[in-house]
């Protein structure tokens, strides 16, 4: 008979939640030595009854178990069966109360083949759904004899960890690409991009419902491990690709292009350019190098927009302030790209001589070739130096609740029919954690104004960066959206990685009708 444990919302939950994350944990993986069935611990969202991934349960002697993507833990710890065991509980974006001694957790009595359900309440607006990459996504579910929703629930493409997703709809499928990829046999893995495909969900294809998962078909080498998708000869260093853009060439054939950068270090390149996907070889091949100091080129997360102004690709980083005509030759030519900027045409950003374009004292924004962008950092400098008035700033992102400025670092933009507006999902830089906070904002036009934003995902001392909304997964007219990001201890103060989850992609869903979004995601005029 299953035990039911329900955690109620507390008025002091946010403070207690933060305190719980400060505990020092010793993370370990148990050994399943017993012959009998493990004890099933299901951790579920109290509102939806859906299993919650990435919930840590820690015993008094510091052994930590982490729920798999179904919210399951298969507990079979020799010496701790058939007796009461206290489990401390913590999970990013979910809450649970503390007892009178300040301990947040639950007492369970593990028995062979027994079960218990623990209910926790969600603080995040976004719902954490499942892990997309890495080993053991449904490890505990398999140990418990359950049938996971994905075809490869334990190890796919030999991948243990994967960084920063890029995606494109190409020839009727979803093409997925990631950065540096970890393998089991050695600490150094694939550093020249990894790739996979999946089918579109119904009604456009026969892929999985995104609420359940994504079935990747990895491009692998002879050893079964995820192989390089953009191999470039030269000095050693990772190859990173972004700006995945589909376009018809002169013959009318659909092609897939991307920007590539061969890196010396995190912020320094050997070279960069444009690569073309070779359908026969199933990899990207460089077709054009561009100068290292080029201002404008395909980058970030593209979106194609056809309207009365023309047919353009806009490149969101995360704001869509760079564009190029949706033409094969134009996309290869940095001189054809335009920036939406307030600098004089041809100007570079220089705070000592900002060269702002004004007409009759009014600051002029427009699409200009070979001209530098003015991002949030530059805006602040211009305002601080008295060159720009605060009301002239193009980017005015601020917390809808507090009015505090929010620094957008990376993300995506797409039209959302439910909101009747452009929707941006982005990672905050230097928020309550360095790279762990995700936000949502809307605007009536691609160029803005981008103003009110609402936090949808939070992490305490852990990174969740390069978030990406996948509009091809949107459901119910855009009311439900799906997004993912890279969960990693990198750039955080955390010293101990979360087993299996660290350096991998995690999927979330957001219901845009959630009243906590207020007017951030409300329909125009509502």
What is the 3-class SS of 464-500, one letter each residue?
EEEEEECHHHCECCCCEEEEEEEEECCCCCCCCCCCC
* Dihedral sign for Cα atoms in the order 415, 209, 136, 134: negative
- Residue positions counted in the chain: 526
Closest to 4 measured CA to CA, from 49, 59, 66: 49
Do residues 304 and 331 make contact, with C-beta atoms less than 8 angstroms apart? no
Mean pLDDT of 67-85: 97
476-500, pLDDT tens digit by residue? Answer: 999 999 999 999 999 998 999 999 9
More confident residue, 128 or 267: 128
pLDDT higher than 90, residue 365: yes
Question: For residue 449, is the peptide bond before it cis, meaning its omega torsion is within 30 degrees of 0?
Answer: yes
More confident residue, 36 or 460: 460
Mean pLDDT of the chain: 92
Res 438: pLDDT? 97
The count of other CB atoms within 10 Å of the CB of residue 258 is 25
Strands 115-122 and 3-6, sheet pairing: parallel
Res 6: pLDDT? 40
Res 234: pLDDT? 84
Tell the residue number behind the tokens 């309440």, with chain if given: 121
Do residues 460 and 18 make contact, with C-beta atoms less than 8 angstroms apart? yes
Q: Which residues pair with 286 in a beta bridge?
A: 275
Mean pLDDT of 362-371: 97
CA distance 189 to 182: 5
Res 523: pLDDT? 57
CA distance 284 to 260: 9
CA distance 461 to 492: 6
String of b and e for 92-131 (b: at least 16 CB within 10 Å)? bbbbbebeeeeebbbebebeeebbbbbbbbbbbbbbbbbb
Res 430: pLDDT? 86
430-474, pLDDT tens digit by residue? Answer: 888 888 899 999 999 999 999 999 999 999 899 999 999 999 999
211-244, pLDDT tens digit by residue? Answer: 999 999 999 999 999 999 999 988 889 999 999 9
315-331, pLDDT tens digit by residue? Answer: 999 999 999 999 999 99
Could you tell me what percent of the chain has a pLDDT over 70?
A: 92
99-151, pLDDT tens digit by residue? Answer: 888 888 999 999 999 999 999 999 999 999 999 999 999 999 999 999 999 99
- DSSP E strand stretches across 330-420: 338-341, 358-359, 362-363, 366-369, 395-399, 408-416
**How big is the CA angle at 498 (ends 110 and 264), to the nearest 5 degrees?**
165
Enumerate domains of the chain plus CATH numbers. 3-124 (2.60.40.1120), 394-526 (no CATH)
Res 33: pLDDT? 39
The DSSP line for 53-90 is: SS-EEE-TTS-EEE--TTSEEEE--TTSTTS-EEEEEE
Tell the residue number behind the tokens 């302030």, with chain if given: 321
């Amino acid at each position: 008979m299953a035990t039911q444990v329900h955690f109620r919302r507390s008025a002091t939950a946010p403070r207690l939640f933060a305190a719980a994350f400060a505990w020092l944990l010793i993370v370990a993986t148990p050994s399943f030595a017993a012959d009998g069935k493990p004890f099933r611990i299901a951790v579920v969202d109290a509102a939806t009854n859906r299993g919650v991934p990435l919930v840590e349960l820690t015993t008094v002697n510091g052994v930590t178990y982490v729920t798999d993507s179904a919210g399951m833990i298969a507990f079979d710890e020799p010496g701790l069966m058939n007796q009461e065991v206290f489990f401390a509980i913590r999970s990013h974006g979910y809450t649970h109360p503390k007892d009178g001694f300040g301990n947040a957790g639950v007492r369970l009595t593990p028995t062979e083949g027994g079960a218990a359900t623990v209910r926790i309440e969600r603080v995040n607006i976004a719902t954490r759904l499942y892990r997309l990459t890495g080993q053991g996504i449904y490890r505990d579910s398999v140990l418990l004899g359950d049938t996971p929703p994905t075809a490869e629930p334990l190890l796919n493409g030999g991948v243990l960890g994967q960084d920063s997703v890029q995606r494109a709809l190409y020839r009727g499928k979803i093409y997925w690409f990631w950065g540096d990829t970890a393998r089991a046999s050695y600490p150094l893995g694939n550093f020249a991009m990894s790739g996979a495909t999946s089918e579109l969900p119904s009604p456009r294809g026969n892929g999985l419902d995104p609420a359940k998962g994504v079935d990747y078909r990895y491009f692998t080498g002879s050893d079964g491990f995820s192989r390089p998708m953009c191999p470039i000869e030269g000095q050693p260093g990772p190859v990173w690709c972004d700006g995945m853009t589909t376009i018809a060439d002169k013959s009318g054939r659909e092609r897939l292009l991307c920007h590539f950068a061969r890196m010396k270090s995190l912020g320094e390149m050997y070279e960069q350019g444009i690569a073309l996907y070779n359908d026969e070889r199933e990899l990207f091949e460089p077709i054009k190098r561009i100068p290292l100091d080029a201002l404008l080129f395909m980058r970030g997360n593209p979106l194609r927009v056809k309207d009365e102004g023309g047919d353009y690709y806009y490149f969101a980083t995360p704001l869509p302030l760079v564009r190029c005509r949706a033409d094969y030759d134009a996309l290869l030519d940095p001189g054809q790209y335009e920036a939406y900027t307030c600098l004089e045409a041809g100007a570079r950003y220089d705070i000592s001589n900002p060269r702002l374009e004004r007409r009759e004292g009014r600051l002029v924004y427009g699409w200009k070739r070979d001209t530098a962008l003015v991002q949030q950092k530059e805006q602040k400098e211009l305002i601080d130096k008295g060159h720009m008035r605060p009301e002239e700033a193009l980017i005015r992102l601020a917390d809808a609740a507090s009015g505090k400025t929010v620094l957008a670092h990376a993300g995506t933009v797409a039209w959302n029919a439910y909101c009747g507006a452009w929707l941006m999902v982005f990672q905050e830089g230097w928020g309550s954690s360095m790279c762990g906070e995700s936000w949502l904002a809307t605007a009536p036009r691609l160029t803005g104004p981008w103003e009110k934003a609402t936090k949808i995902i939070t992490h305490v001392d852990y990174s969740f960066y390069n978030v990406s909304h996948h509009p091809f997964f949107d459901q119910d007219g855009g009311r439900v959206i799906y997004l993912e990001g890279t969960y990693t201890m990198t750039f955080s103060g955390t010293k101990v990685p979360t087993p299996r989850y660290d350096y991998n992609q995690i999927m979330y869903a957001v219901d845009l009708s959630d009243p906590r979004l207020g007017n951030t995601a409300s329909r125009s005029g509502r």
